[in-house]
Structure 1
């Protein structure tokens, strides 16, 4: 399976996308966007910033679960990962985004 961006419309008429890795796992979930155009711009921002290791925040939740965020050049968070079982798994998620962000296809599920 090829990596893909799944663009969806939420129940409250906002837009969100997930980056799905080649193994079928969601590795990055975007913020909510008011418009489809804004969500598409968010995808382009992931394509641009995803390969850059300096754009990742390696964080831990209150319960200690590791996760990461991806930030744009202006410091705004573009997307966030799921919670991982350990730092090694989180770093594998980052590697999946870095390896797939630029070339993943768009699966527009809003049509």
Structure 2
């Protein structure tokens, strides 16, 4: 499921949640709700292209990934994972869940 919400600064954000309720991808802030919704559509489309995922290891040794649009802009960032295989499972979860995920507006 995608959740759309407004943060404390008044910006719209989305996050993609797995079936178990875990956050697997989060967006940056958008000034307009329509832009946030366009971001979700971009995730749906780009999540099916393996080359759009950027897997990286942080200075702390934890792993994460970004999903990028065709223009190279980051449209979603994962949580931190203890292992590279955990991050790769997160990517697989985005690829599996994003295309058909319902969108729900929530109060933050």
TM-score range, shorter chain: over 0.9
Aligned counterpart for 1:50 among listed residues 35, 47, 52: 47
Q: Tell me how far 1:81 sits from its aligned partner.
A: 0.3
Deviations 1:59-78 (A, max 9, x none): 11111111000000110000
RMSD: 0.8
Deviations 1:29-53 (A, max 9, x none): 0011111011000000001101211
Where does the alignment leave 5 or more consecutive residues of structure 1 unmatched?
none
How many residues are matched?
Answer: 107
Q: In structure 1, what is the equivalent of residue 95 of structure 2?
A: 98
Q: In structure 2, what is the equivalent of residue 89 of structure 1?
A: 86
Residue 60 in structure 1 maps to residue 48 in structure 2? no
Where does the alignment leave 5 or more consecutive residues of structure 2 unmatched?
none
